[in-house]
Structure 1
Amino acid sequence: MAETGAIVLAAGMGTRMKSALVKVMHPLAGVPMIEWPLAAAFEAGVAECVVVAGHQEEKVRAHLGERPGILFATQAEQLGTGHAVKCALPQLPSSCETVLILCGDTPLLTAATLSEMLQRHKESGATLTVMTAKVANPFGYGRIVKGSDGTVQKIVEQKDASAEEREITEVNAGVYCVDAGFLKAAVAELKNDNAQGEYYLTDIVSRAAREGRSCQSFQVVSPSEMMGVNDRAQLADAAKILRRRINRELMLSGVTLIDPRTTYIDRDVKIGKDTVVEPGATITGNTVIGERCRIGQVSQIHSCRLADDVTVKAGSVLEESVVYEFASIGPMAHLRPGSELHAHVKVGNFVETKKVVMGEGSKASHLTYLGDAVVGKECNIGCGTITCNYDGVRKHKTVIEDGVFVGSDVQLVAPVTVGRGSLIAAGTTVTQDVPADSLAISRTPQTNKEGWVLRKKQQG
């Protein structure tokens, strides 16, 4: 069965990024830049996609891995877009009769636009369709030169354009739909006799015109879609547009963003309806948030799973943690990786957890550190409690069983177990296991020296 394949050009280093990292791997709304055009292509109906890698090819391959439908080609020496396509063609399956060509640094292209372009290409019967855009300032873009019948005759690059051609405002967006047979023949005969000394993919347009083949243009409605990212400023511009799209989709699905302009949510985040996200929140990674939650101002949540009806108060930071129904976190709490809070747990202000499981209904209301610990159900962890989990060489676990009351300013020196129903008196340092239903207390006896302060003042 005839299929549509895609080629994504991603071999360049991107020197204007001024970075040691290859351009297409720069993060953009939570994923490397190259993820955006790939996702758009597959969503538009592409069956197979060949990624042309060159600089830091190993990083691109390592990230994309062995995903279904993704193939790789190597462009060891960057000799132009035509050469890149030539490197990719042997990897395309023979069943691909139409080839969609796009760049790895154009993250704003939408699946809807690509789908419409493919459909228009099919309906027109064209050999080649070029995506174009009308722009007020065409400087730097290849100009679209058309014949009297409106078909595309050639694309002229900025450096090769005449004064008259530079006045043209319809420009090349760098996206093509091409008949596979024609593409293979045309790319094989490309020449590099131009100002750049490169093999231009755009030269296949003039070849199609010479052979009397139909070459159509597809003008994109929003020119911003064709924006390429070449430096850090453009990366920030693209991120702003993508986050606006992400936020709009979330709001249309039933999520309340009080101020979308100051809310930063990554592409792979999922949020349930009737959840409210307050200004300044940053939600990243593969976070999943349930329904009817409230995410407080300037909170940060990375790769966490929050069930329904969870409250995250202002200024809290959550990382790689799991939170169950009706739990409350913060303000100014920090859940480090491996934290698991069960239903109705309260973790209050300036509480830090790390590799901790807290059972249903337990609470640590303020100024506490719980690391490498298991806390049972309905426990009270008093202010200033610390699980002393590190002996300078290795970490040890603290176990606090159900119904334990831990007073203020308690140190639990792991490994140690506190039996169910016990009470740990304020100021106690626990160095031995505590049996169930016991009182643990370790304090220096209090001594009151009456009149001591007055005598000290008189001596001074």
Structure 2
Amino acid sequence: MIAGVVLAGGVGERMNSSIPKLFHNLLGKPIIRYVLENLSGLALNKIIIVVKSDLKEKFQYTCGDDFVYVVQDKPLGSGDALKRAIPELENFSTVLVVNGDAPLITTEILESLISSHNADNVSATVLSTVIDDPMHYGRVVKDELGNVIRIVEAKDATEREKNIKEVNTGAYCFSVDDLRLVIDRMTNNNAQGEYYITQLIEILSSMGKRVNSYITDLGSLALGINSRFDLSLAIEKLLTEKMEELMQGGVTIVSPENTYIEPDVRVGRDTVIEPFSVLKGNTFIGENCTIGPSSYLLNVDIGDRCDVFYSVVKNSKIESDVRVGPFAHIRDGAIIKSNAAIGDFVEVKKSIIGSHTKAMHHSYLGDADIGERVNIGAGVITCNYDGKNKHKTIIEDGAFIGSNTNLIAPITIGRGAVTGAGAVVTKDVEPDTVVVGVPAKILRKKEEGGKGE
């Protein structure tokens, strides 16, 4: 059986932040979530997360209950963190060890690392990468047969070793039996007084155990996120991958360098994403849509053939053949039915806008259920809040709400009813009835004087 261990106890001082490093946002998700998703794609029998004691509850809240949490009481280095996980490795033959700050080491790379480890029948396998300027990273030192004999830090390296370009990423596979043999042989004879996993590689080699490396082509991106600059590089990498995925799937992105799209966003073919658009969360966009320019979408479900431009849409559903914008704000809980139109400076919150209904100018529609083929004039307000509670407005099919009408909820406007411009409607209006004034009063029934519009 194979277990995974995530070392998640690092402080992350170089982030210069009050937020623990692994909880920093990377395209809409904490860094640690990417690492766990990559591990969850493997056939692992257990995933163990080693955390600081004061962050255990935060990890459990963020990551869920599918993992085993082990506490490292004091930050005594990566080797000590791995040692804390040893009791959880009973009956396991292999353990995969990764850092919690390395979100770009994908499932495929980790799968290849495990396969290489098993095929070579070695005690340990180091995931390494090659970079032109290794800087301060640990060099992977090999013997003449290509076996890893140690990992040396730059400050301790000889001139020959400093020229080595293969560096350690901090991910490993170990034989659990061999790991148990050496885990207590680590020492903390260093300036920091800490125990390092890299010591285990040298100890295994000195015992005649074979250690190999598996080289990934990620380069410096495999080395984890240790600073805001590293975070920006990871964002750039994931954004590029997402853009390429969508474009290969038939989506036009007019200006990829000026577009932000998070990994979980899905977009149908022949949709066009205009510049300066931001697509976040679990957003789904159908086919033949135009999004943007300058639109912000968060957790939105959009049908086919929709246009959303210069607008903000959050936690809402838009059916097919809908036009939104410019400068509209569709808020939480809104449902815009097919062939509806929401125009400039219209705000919709927790409301249903019926099919073929139009609200084209300067209106607020909150806590409303609006039927089909309703006309919402400029400046219409559903007055849904009385200072204590929110109340519902119902506008039935075919109603005509005149400009600058205030609808004082709770209220129902009947089918085919009409409100005059500037009306303040405080009572329900029966179907096919025309009301005007402040407060609004019945002018006539529509059948008495024609359409009444």
TM-score (norm 1): 0.92
Instruction: Summarize the alignment of residues 276-295 of structure 1 with structure 2, pairs less than 5 Å apart.
Output: 276-295=272-291
Instruction: Report the CA distance between 1:167 and its aligned residue.
Output: 3.2
Partners of 1:57 and 1:16 in 2: CA distance: 22
Match of 1:305 in 2: 301
Instruction: Report the CA distance between 1:244 and its aligned residue.
Output: 0.8
Match of 1:133 in 2: 129
Q: Do 2:345 and 2:361's aligned partners in 1 also have CA atoms closer than 8 Å?
A: yes
Partners of 1:380 and 1:422 in 2: CA distance: 11
Match of 2:433 in 1: 438
Match of 1:449 in 2: none
Instruction: Summarize the alignment of residues 29-40 of structure 1 with structure 2, pairs less than 5 Å apart.
Output: 29-40=27-38
- CA displacement 1:154-178 (0-9 Å, x = unmatched): 1112343344433322211111111
Instruction: Summarize the alignment of residues 163-242 of structure 1 with structure 2, pairs less than 5 Å apart.
Output: 163-242=159-238
Partner SS, residue 97 of structure 2: strand
Match of 2:112 in 1: 116
Match of 1:71 in 2: 68
Counterpart code for 1:106: A
Q: Do 1:265 and 1:282's aligned partners in 2 also have CA atoms closer than 8 Å?
A: yes
Match of 1:57 in 2: 56
2:323 is the alignment partner of 1:328: yes
Instruction: Report the CA distance between 1:196 and its aligned residue.
Output: 2.5
- CA displacement 1:80-117 (0-9 Å, x = unmatched): 0011111122234x453211111111111122222222
Match of 2:448 in 1: none
2:80 is the alignment partner of 1:91: no
Instruction: Report the CA distance between 1:320 and its aligned residue.
Output: 0.6
Counterpart code for 2:354: G
Q: Do 1:72 and 1:91's aligned partners in 2 also have CA atoms closer than 8 Å?
A: no
Partners of 2:86 and 2:299 in 1: CA distance: 38
Partners of 1:286 and 1:294 in 2: CA distance: 18
Match of 2:443 in 1: none
- CA displacement 1:45-84 (0-9 Å, x = unmatched): 33321111115222111011123xx221111211000111
Q: Do 2:129 and 2:220's aligned partners in 1 also have CA atoms closer than 8 Å?
A: no
Partners of 1:147 and 1:296 in 2: CA distance: 57
Counterpart code for 2:408: V
Partners of 1:280 and 1:345 in 2: CA distance: 25
Match of 2:445 in 1: none
Match of 2:390 in 1: 395
- CA displacement 1:192-219 (0-9 Å, x = unmatched): 1123221110111111111211111111
Partners of 1:430 and 1:255 in 2: CA distance: 47
Match of 1:100 in 2: 96
Instruction: Report the CA distance between 1:443 and its aligned residue.
Output: 5.5
Instruction: Report the CA distance between 1:187 and its aligned residue.
Output: 1.6
Partners of 1:297 and 1:337 in 2: CA distance: 22
Partners of 1:246 and 1:229 in 2: CA distance: 19
Partners of 1:207 and 1:192 in 2: CA distance: 14
Question: Cα 1:289–1:228, aligned 2, differ >3 Å: closer, same or farther?
Answer: same
Out of 15, 19, 23, the position equivalent to 1:25 is: 23
Question: Cα 1:127–1:235, aligned 2, differ >3 Å: closer, same or farther?
Answer: same
Partners of 1:294 and 1:95 in 2: CA distance: 55
Partners of 2:305 and 2:150 in 1: CA distance: 59
Counterpart code for 1:174: G
Match of 2:442 in 1: none
Q: Do 2:425 and 2:438's aligned partners in 1 also have CA atoms closer than 8 Å?
A: no
Q: Do 1:282 and 1:299's aligned partners in 2 also have CA atoms closer than 8 Å?
A: yes
Instruction: Report the CA distance between 1:254 and its aligned residue.
Output: 2.3
Partner SS, residue 96 of structure 1: coil
Instruction: Report the CA distance between 1:31 and its aligned residue.
Output: 0.7
Q: How many residues align?
A: 439
Partners of 2:177 and 2:221 in 1: CA distance: 28
Partners of 2:94 and 2:428 in 1: CA distance: 71
Partners of 1:184 and 1:292 in 2: CA distance: 58
Q: Do 2:123 and 2:174's aligned partners in 1 also have CA atoms closer than 8 Å?
A: yes
Partners of 2:45 and 2:266 in 1: CA distance: 26
Q: Do 2:221 and 2:233's aligned partners in 1 also have CA atoms closer than 8 Å?
A: no
Partners of 2:238 and 2:111 in 1: CA distance: 19
Out of 312, 327, 344, the position equivalent to 2:339 is: 344
Q: Do 1:336 and 1:353's aligned partners in 2 also have CA atoms closer than 8 Å?
A: yes
Instruction: Report the CA distance between 1:33 and its aligned residue.
Output: 0.3
Please identify, of 361-370 and 386-395, the stretch whose mean Cα deviation from structure 2 is larger: 386-395
- CA displacement 1:230-284 (0-9 Å, x = unmatched): 1222211211111111111122222221222221111222222222211111111
Partner SS, residue 364 of structure 1: strand
Counterpart code for 1:114: L
Match of 1:7 in 2: 5
Q: Do 1:348 and 1:364's aligned partners in 2 also have CA atoms closer than 8 Å?
A: yes
- CA displacement 1:416-458 (0-9 Å, x = unmatched): 11111101111111111111110010069xxxxxxxxxxxxxx
Partners of 2:180 and 2:304 in 1: CA distance: 54
Match of 1:413 in 2: 408
2:376 is the alignment partner of 1:377: no
Gaps of 5+ in 2: 440-453
TM-score (norm 2): 0.93
Counterpart code for 2:57: E
